[in-house]
Amino acid sequence: MMLGFPCLMYYFWVCVEHHQGKLITPATYSIQGLQSFIYNDIIQKVIAGAFPHLLAVKIYMGFVVYTAICAYTLPGIVVEGLGLPSLKGKKLKYLCNGLPFWYMTLVLSAILHITGLFRLTLIADNFGNIMSVAIIWGFTMSSLVYVISGIMGKHHRMSGNFFYDFFMGGCLNPRIGHLDLKMWAETRVPWPLLFYISVSCALKQYENQGVFNAPALFMVLAHFLYVNSMQKAEECIPTSWDIFYEKDGFMLMFWNMAGVPFTYCLPSIYMMKYESVTGTTISHSLPYTIFLFTLLLTAYYIFDTANAQKNRFRMEQNGSFITRNAFPQLPWGHLKNPSFIRTEHGNLLLTGGWWGIARKPHYTADLMISISWGLITGFGSFLPYFYFCFFVFVLTHRVTRDIQRCAKKYGKDWDRYCERVPYIFIPYVF
């Protein structure tokens, strides 16, 4: 996977940049045919069009450093994570300043674009080059964190297999002062970058066609909602599975620094390239467009409120609940006196709200969101659907691991919970 991820990203880049999203294959499957395909059709095109030049380094690393400075310095609330077995039950503190960062960044980027100091269209113009910098940075950061945390004696739960350990990570919570690198990498770099790639593609469309069409605005709205949801509910993230359990290895770091922004954006990039080659924009009938906006907003509503219901319920039990009126606060996001199952472990399992309907209602909603990103591009290419397909795999894998962990942790109480809420994703289906 460590070799495969970057190769896949470059392959997709060549397909979208040079072949209008068509998945290319070697002309023949002989050794010479494969060599020629890899060298002439992929490597040469990558060197010519996706070289990590200085401007790309400035754009990408400038953004990475800017987000780290913001995460370190901006004011925000401080919340505690879960007690960590590796630190003898100690709870780490997390500075949650995502909202000021997000709003400030939106204003700053608008100023930079309008004044011409930094045209946001430069991101789309140098997409392949910036992606190469991100790939190099993904490897560099994973290696630095792995080596430095090892020297500091902070590796734990190691298997002894170097490649597996490097992939899964050595250290659970690498930090520079109070800056938690995993939390920063997860919330501040990939999703805002994804949003700006879509904004950049929409602005390119405006530059070329003089209008923003519905599919381009759809992608901007979709990515805005996703980033916004993460920043407005940042205080819920320290208790999430990634932060308290997953180590900060190549899997999380590479994917956050490079994989998420540069593959999840394929719908926007595909539509932009389609326009630049054909001179026409992708458009759909009014009913289809309305259907997709409805799908996106409905799925977002379920995603937002399901996450909010469980996280607020859990925070109320811990006594860490804080009222934050970050936009948008949606109805049914906070359950008053919901039903639950009390476990011997001490934790309560929510069985009210969306959580009485399915055990992973937020995953179902997230999958609906991801398929809407593909559907808005039509059916001309597989690439805009890559995120959905990949996400089905990621979430199925996550569910399996999570169910195993919870079954072990809660024993017969988990069986009672599964009897009470028998369906995982969709009631009466699965």
Q: Which positions lie near ligand NDP, rule CB under 6 A?
A: 240-242, 303, 307, 310, 314, 347, 349-350, 355, 362-363, 366, 398, 402, 406, 409
CA 312 to chain centre: 22
CA-to-CA dists, residue 56 to 59, 255, 364, angstroms: 5, 19, 36
Q: Which is nearer to ligand NDP, 52 or 238 (CB)?
A: 238
User: Minimum distance from CB of 48 to ligand NDP (Å)?
Assistant: 31
Token pair, residue 188, equals 């501040």
User: Minimum distance from CB of 208 to ligand NDP (Å)?
Assistant: 30
Q: Which is nearer to ligand NDP, 97 or 309 (CB)?
A: 309
Q: What distance in Å separates the CA atoms of residue 76 and residue 281, rounded to the nearest whole number?
A: 42
* Residue 228 DSSP SS3: helix
Listed in sequence order, the DSSP H helices in 91-126 are: 98-115, 121-125
User: Minimum distance from CB of 411 to ligand NDP (Å)?
Assistant: 13
User: Minimum distance from CB of 180 to ligand NDP (Å)?
Assistant: 16
Q: What distance in Å separates the CA atoms of residue 46 and residue 41, rounded to the nearest whole number?
A: 9
- Strands of 11-150, DSSP E: 77-84, 90-96
Residues 6+ apart with CB under 8 A from 281: 205, 209, 211, 213, 215, 216, 271, 274, 275
User: Minimum distance from CB of 29 to ligand NDP (Å)?
Assistant: 34
CB < 8 Å & 24+ apart, contacts of 330-335:
330/301, 330/304, 330/305, 331/305, 332/305, 333/304, 333/305, 333/308, 333/309, 334/308, 334/309, 335/309
Q: Which is nearer to ligand NDP, 273 or 312 (CB)?
A: 312
User: Minimum distance from CB of 349 to ligand NDP (Å)?
Assistant: 4
Q: Which is nearer to ligand NDP, 208 or 240 (CB)?
A: 240
Q: Which is nearer to ligand NDP, 204 or 310 (CB)?
A: 310
Q: Which is nearer to ligand NDP, 36 or 317 (CB)?
A: 317
User: Minimum distance from CB of 125 to ligand NDP (Å)?
Assistant: 26
Q: Which residues pair with 176 in a beta bridge?
A: 179
Tokens 């995982």 belong to 424
Q: Which is nearer to ligand NDP, 275 or 366 (CB)?
A: 366
